[in-house]
Structure 1
Amino acid sequence: MRNITKYGIFLFGVLSLLTLSVLVLSNPSNENTELENSSNEPIDFGICIDFIPYTHEELKDNSDTIVMGTVKEKLPPRWNTADGKKPNKLLNKIEYPDDIIYTDIVISVDEYLKNPLSSRELIVRVTGGTVGDFSMTTDADPLFNTSEKVLLYLSKDESSSTGNIGPEHFIVTDFYRGKYTLTEDGKAITPDETVTLEELLNAINQTNNNTNETEASDNKETANKETANVETADKQEEFGSTIESNKIPFTSFFWLLLALLGAVSIVRRRQQ
């Protein structure tokens, strides 16, 4: 009987230590309640956005304004929080598009090609940038360089994550497909195509009165948004499951020891 008691006390002690270890490892204070990074390398949040490229006519029809101009300035990136700083969240709680880093681009407008505005400067907002030790990138938003000559298809920012933050601004229609880099030899370039500026201006100036084509454009825009939402949901689910899976081995080992304790008790009783 004394031996059984000793075995029980020993196994109970081991079990208690393992339980304490699991609690310590799963304590949010050890995973950093706020986003913290102890390494020298920035933590990168990569966002994959699936979208359907528009034609030139669809770009024109779905844009609130179209401009030619020069990239005057890139403002410092900010989180979409009230103070522009990192959110007070665990890493596995960061969710796109609720939590994003954005960068505002100041464009000096040379010419309005659709719906001219009174201002000779406007702000274009893109997702991505580095704030402190945290960096966010997408495979869809366009990149801008200071002094770059551009032709931009722009839409009002109506997103819940950045639409009401800061001054009036626009987003690029259809992601990088709506931003053309203009070269000195008369070319207009995106990652997907190279056309002449003359061809692009002709496409913008053409009037599209075909109702069926307009309806098809609206349907494609809806499908584009739905596809992007599905892709985002998949990424969020994958990111969350990666973080949580690190705790599964400890839980399994806990139940294994519990089963071992029960088995020892049963064996000792039979020996009596």
Structure 2
Amino acid sequence: MRNIIKYGIFLVGALSLLTLNALALSNPSNDNTELENNSNEAIGIDICIDFIPYTHEELRDKSDTIVIGTVNEIFLPRWNTVDGKKPKKLLNKLEYPDDIIYTDIVISVDEYLKNPLSSRELIVRVTGGTVGDFSMTTDADPSFNAGEKVLVYLRKDESPSTKDIGPEHFIVTDFYRGKYTLTDDGKAITPDETVTLEELLSTINQTDNNTNDTEVSDNKETANEETANKETAGKQEGVGSTIQSKRIPFMSSFWMLAAVFGAVICIRKRE
């Protein structure tokens, strides 16, 4: 009678493990859920970017154009997909810079400070924005406000994931370090420094010594590119998101049965 009770307990345990195993295998939410959100709050995707700050001279030399202007319009953000909608993939499968939300800003140009163009408006593209239930932010790209007076160092967008999307556009040289907010009292401000507009203009107009720092600048540019290739996209689900791991830890059926039979053999040997 005692042996029957022991064997019964082991069988119940084995059946319980097998049931958990079957539930885990049959749950499609682990691997086949597309990027979707059924909650009322947005899912936040935070991108952390490490970069090497440029000097004023390097900002000047690495920029394709430099302008003073006013933020005229901020377009609605969109994904860098063909239709501008969210990619059909898992949240944890998103990769920066392949999968991003971007925002285009229209700058009305008051003055070109380097390589003047014929257009009186330029489009500046930054990473970040909210599309539907998903919000993407970075700690490196600058922010713009409608009506803001700015001095921006710009270069052509060479990223394969965004360069051919939409109209001709630029990106800010060296992230937020290349965008200065201009104030009425002659100040030029970034999150890292406050200088005078006169100081920036003086550096931009100094072209005699541009070639002296070429080697140093190229080395820093290479370091920036290598860093950009290793940027880690810290993707975090927003509060209330339904996207979460529901995987149940389990062993294979073979090993569970082997453990049960091994225990039965041990009991017989002790008896």
C-alpha deviation, 1:84, in angstroms: 0.2
1:177 alignment partner in structure 2? 177
CA deviation map 1:98-117 (0-9, x unaligned):
10000000111111111111
**TM-score, length of structure 1 as denominator length:** 0.87
Letter in 1 for 2:22: L
2:40 alignment partner in structure 1? 40
SS at match of 1:104: strand
C-alpha deviation, 1:36, in angstroms: 1.3
SS at match of 1:251: coil
C-alpha deviation, 1:43, in angstroms: 0.8
Structure 1 stretches (4+) deviating beyond 3 angstroms?
A: 1-12, 208-212, 243-247, 252-260
SS at match of 2:250: helix
CA deviation map 1:242-262 (0-9, x unaligned):
x99874x61369898556413
C-alpha deviation, 1:37, in angstroms: 1.3
C-alpha deviation, 1:183, in angstroms: 0.5
2:15 alignment partner in structure 1? 13
1:86 alignment partner in structure 2? 86
Q: Please say if residues 18 and 254 of structure 1, whose CA atoms lie closer than 8 Å, have aligned partners that are also in contact.
A: no
C-alpha deviation, 1:11, in angstroms: 4.2
**TM-score, length of structure 2 as denominator length:** 0.87
Q: Unpaired runs of 5+ in structure 1?
A: none
2:196 alignment partner in structure 1? 196
Query: Are 2:88 and 1:96 equivalent residues in the alignment?
Result: no
Letter in 1 for 2:59: L
C-alpha deviation, 1:34, in angstroms: 1.9
CA deviation map 1:86-145 (0-9, x unaligned):
000011111111100000001111111111111101100000000011011000000000
C-alpha deviation, 1:264, in angstroms: 2.5
1:220 alignment partner in structure 2? 220
2:250 alignment partner in structure 1? 251
* Structure showing greater relative contact order (alpha-carbon pairs closer than 8 Å, 6 or more residues apart): 2
Q: State how 1:1-272 maps to structure 2 within 5 Å.
A: 3=4, 9-25=11-27, 27-28=28-29, 33-209=33-209, 211-232=211-232, 235=234, 247=247, 250-251=249-250, 257-258=256-257, 260-270=259-269
Aligned-CA RMSD value? 2.9
- Distance in 2 (CA, whole Å) between partners of 1:14 and 1:267 is 21
- Distance in 2 (CA, whole Å) between partners of 1:209 and 1:18 is 71
Identity of aligned residues (%): 69
CA deviation map 1:139-172 (0-9, x unaligned):
0000000000000100000101101100000000
Distance 1:146 1:254, change over 3 A: farther
- From the two aligned structures, give the one with the greater helix fraction: 1
Letter in 1 for 2:227: T
Distance 1:131 1:105, change over 3 A: same
